[in-house]
Chains A and B, each alone.
Chain A
Amino acid sequence: MEPVKSLGAVLVDDEALARDLLREHLARHPDVTILAECANGFEAVKAISDLAPDLVFLDIRMPGLDGFEVLELLPPRADGGPAVVFVTAYDDFALKAFDANAVDYLLKPFDRVRFEAALERARRRRGVPPPLAASARGPAPLTRVVVKDGATISILPAAAIEWIRAEDDYVLLRVSGRNHLKQETLANLEAQLPPGRFVRIHRSYLLALDRLERLRPTPTGGQEALLRDGTVLPVSRAGARLLRDRLGSSSAG
């Protein structure tokens, strides 16, 4: 048997009464220490990043960021990050929570037996690295992309993204004339964005169709994309074919 070790927990819920309830249940477990209580997603990202808890009880619907977005913005941790138990009144996020590698999914209201079971699973699962990449998110297309730059968290509406460029392990998102860096691969992000609006015009570029002014030939015999704001992006041969298909089908239909 492993020696009993103290567990640090962070409670995240926008309702004070819901946090009270979690605290009351945890009071029966002297080995669990509550490191912080957060009332919204922003506080949660900060607290979990700073305090590196073993355990997080996480609400899904919250002001600011939702529970999934909180997980997405956490920095990678050598021990694989905290064991996450979602606590929500919505049963329709269960699949998504499973994909996000959550330890358990507590449906409000819950009883003590159910809470103990979740805590037990969290204890057992601690240390197993949860791959909390954004690719683990559910099948619904993203309506917004969250980006963390130092202490600043930006919420970017997917409809405002102009183009995206791959930069090693990061992607650069161009939104309303500003650049944002996010730790994510271009392929992963492409798979989550609403289908139809973005075209992979180049190995390293995704372009929102509505930003394109026209395609024009380059001196070397290739093609490039001229955007409405004057920006010029490279277009591969496959990208040009994709673009022509999309524009052709949209003008025909």
Chain B
Amino acid sequence: MNPILASSGRLGPYLFAWVPLAGVTGGLLVLAARLTALEAGVILLPLTSVYAFLCLSSWYLCRVLPLGENTARLAATFTIASAAAAALWSAWGVTLAQLLASFPLFAALPEKLPQMAPTLFLLGILLYLLSAALHYVLLAVERARDEARRAAELSALARDAELAALKQQLNPHFLFNSLNSISSLTGSNPGKAREMCVLLAGFLRATLGLSERTSIPLSEELALVRSYLAIEEVRFGDRLSVEEDVDPRAEGCAIPPLLLQPLVENAVKHGVAPRLEGGVVRVRATRTDGTLVIALTNPVDAGAPAAPGAGLGLRNVRRRLAARWGSEATLRQELREGTFSVALSIPAESKA
């Protein structure tokens, strides 16, 4: 639908803009075609109001022929279209003049047709092209508005991804199990219980604090991961061990907060915890040129069916990477010979 017809807020001003144009038309009819003021005044309203709507048809051409793409085709199309519209308009003018001629007052009108028709034709071409120009402006405005809306949608999507990540972050089962461990230690080893309380408090404080920022250095994320793993090591005893290999140059790289933590949690929950013999979670971070690579591996039981929920954390991380870096960041996951590995490759940004 034509954007002018589609909104009454636009149709009004558009028709109003035709008032001076109708004035110009009337003036030309008087000066060039020698109509009397009365003749011009009577014919003007039906003449211009029809053309005002006919000119709206240029919108369909404007839409299919973007400016600056194929200028020759554009020129040819608008020459033909404006000529056709102008011809229709002058034919309408002639018809009106002949209808009016049946009244004695306007009997002289048909004699002026040889001047009136070409005047209307030339003016019609100009007015049609003017309308096309207006439609191009409107199209550009609409496109800009669409783009702004799309950008807003994208950023809303990115925010959703962040929120989903945070929601997933506050894993209640981890908390309940940790509190149960503390409850147990309170009787048998109060010192250790206190230590675990401090670890858990540190983890919670860091989680809540980090989640308010949009970017943190990798070193801070790793500290959070360490406190998480320290708590899990108390719970799982010697079934869980952790190996860390972090390039010092990687530590300053900026990443979205809580990017790694859910992946490490996955590694413990779906990798090590279901295994009778437990296993090792390995964290490795390297920085080469402009790329930060973070790799995580954990063992998995060969025959175990995919745990529900294991994919959710990964999907979330993928969405967050895409929202922030688009195709510049990648996440690769692989299950081979009983080892699950995830590798994030993201642009190395130093400022956090």
A44-69 contact mask (Cβ, 8 Å, vs B): 1 or 0: 00000000000000000101100000
Q: Is the Cβ of A63 less than 8 Å from the Cβ of B275?
A: yes
Q: Which of B183, B187, B305 contacts A109 (CB 8 A)?
A: B183
Q: Is the Cβ of B176 less than 8 Å from the Cβ of A157?
A: no
Q: Is the Cβ of A109 less than 8 Å from the Cβ of B275?
A: no
Q: Is the Cβ of A109 less than 8 Å from the Cβ of B176?
A: yes
B338: shortest Cβ distance to chain A, in Å? 15
Q: Is the Cβ of A21 less than 8 Å from the Cβ of B183?
A: yes
Within 8 A of B (CB), among A129-175: 143-144, 155, 157-159
Q: Is the Cβ of A17 less than 8 Å from the Cβ of B235?
A: yes
Q: Is the Cβ of B180 less than 8 Å from the Cβ of A109?
A: yes
Q: Interface of chain B, helix or strand or loop or mixed?
A: helix
Within 8 A of A (CB), among B144-165: none
Q: Which of A17, A42, A110, A157 contacts B181 (CB 8 A)?
A: A17
Q: Is the Cβ of A63 less than 8 Å from the Cβ of B274?
A: yes
Q: Is the Cβ of A24 less than 8 Å from the Cβ of B173?
A: no
Q: Is the Cβ of B235 less than 8 Å from the Cβ of A15?
A: yes
Q: A15-B177, A90-B173, A107-B176 given as contacts; is B305 within 8 A of A20 (CB)?
A: no
Q: Is the Cβ of A108 less than 8 Å from the Cβ of B236?
A: no
List of B residues within 8 angstroms of A20 by Cβ: 184, 187-188
List of A residues within 8 angstroms of B235 by Cβ: 15, 17
In angstroms, Cα B305 to Cα A159, docked, is 9
Within 8 A of B (CB), among A96-122: 107-110
Q: Does B273 touch A at the CB level, under 8 Å?
A: yes
A12-33 contact mask (Cβ, 8 Å, vs B): 1 or 0: 0011111011001000000000
In angstroms, Cα B235 to Cα A89, docked, is 13
A34: shortest Cβ distance to chain B, in Å? 15
In angstroms, Cα B183 to Cα A110, docked, is 9
In angstroms, Cα B236 to Cα A20, docked, is 13
Q: Which of B179, B237, B273, B303 contacts A108 (CB 8 A)?
A: B179
Q: Is the Cβ of B276 less than 8 Å from the Cβ of A21?
A: no
List of A residues within 8 angstroms of B180 by Cβ: 15, 17-18, 21, 89, 108-110
Q: Is the Cβ of A109 less than 8 Å from the Cβ of B274?
A: no
Residue of chain A at shortest CB distance from B307:
A143
Q: Is the Cβ of B273 less than 8 Å from the Cβ of A63?
A: yes
List of A residues within 8 angstroms of B273 by Cβ: 14, 61, 63
Q: Does B139 touch A at the CB level, under 8 Å?
A: no
Within 8 A of A (CB), among B165-219: 172-173, 176-177, 179-185, 187-188
Within 8 A of A (CB), among B250-305: 273-276, 303, 305
List of A residues within 8 angstroms of B123 by Cβ: none
Residue of chain A at shortest CB distance from B179:
A109
Q: Does B100 touch A at the CB level, under 8 Å?
A: no
Residue of chain B at shortest CB distance from A160:
B303
In angstroms, Cα B305 to Cα A21, docked, is 31
Q: Is the Cβ of A18 less than 8 Å from the Cβ of B181?
A: yes
Q: A89-B173, A90-B173 given as contacts; is B275 within 8 A of A18 (CB)?
A: no
Residue of chain B at shortest CB distance from A16:
B237
List of A residues within 8 angstroms of B177 by Cβ: 15, 18, 89, 108
A198: shortest Cβ distance to chain B, in Å? 17
A23: shortest Cβ distance to chain B, in Å? 9
Q: Is the Cβ of A24 less than 8 Å from the Cβ of B187?
A: yes
List of A residues within 8 angstroms of B184 by Cβ: 17-18, 20-21, 24
Q: Is the Cβ of A89 less than 8 Å from the Cβ of B183?
A: no
Q: Is the Cβ of B305 less than 8 Å from the Cβ of A157?
A: yes
Q: Which of B234, B237, B305 contacts A143 (CB 8 A)?
A: B305
List of B residues within 8 angstroms of A143 by Cβ: 305
Q: Is the Cβ of A40 less than 8 Å from the Cβ of B176?
A: no
Q: Is the Cβ of B276 less than 8 Å from the Cβ of A64?
A: yes
A71-108 contact mask (Cβ, 8 Å, vs B): 1 or 0: 00000000000000000011000000000000000011
In angstroms, Cα B188 to Cα A172, docked, is 49
In angstroms, Cα B189 to Cα A170, docked, is 49
List of A residues within 8 angstroms of B303 by Cβ: 155, 157
Residue of chain A at shortest CB distance from B237:
A16
B193: shortest Cβ distance to chain A, in Å? 10
In angstroms, Cα B234 to Cα A235, docked, is 56
In angstroms, Cα B184 to Cα A110, docked, is 10
B216-246 contact mask (Cβ, 8 Å, vs A): 1 or 0: 0000000000000000001111010000000
List of A residues within 8 angstroms of B179 by Cβ: 108-109
Residue of chain A at shortest CB distance from B176:
A89
Q: Is the Cβ of B187 less than 8 Å from the Cβ of A63?
A: no
List of B residues within 8 angstroms of A110 by Cβ: 180
Give the B-binding residues of A (Cβ under 8 A): 14-18, 20-21, 24, 40, 42, 61, 63-64, 89-90, 107-110, 143-144, 155, 157-159
Given A14-B273, A157-B303, 20 further pairs, Cβ under 8 A: A14-B239, A15-B177, A15-B180, A15-B181, A17-B181, A17-B184, A17-B234, A18-B177, A18-B181, A20-B187, A21-B187, A24-B187, A42-B276, A63-B275, A89-B172, A89-B176, A108-B177, A109-B180, A109-B182, A155-B303
Q: List 5 A-B contacts (CB under 8 A).
A: A15-B236, A17-B184, A21-B183, A90-B173, A108-B180
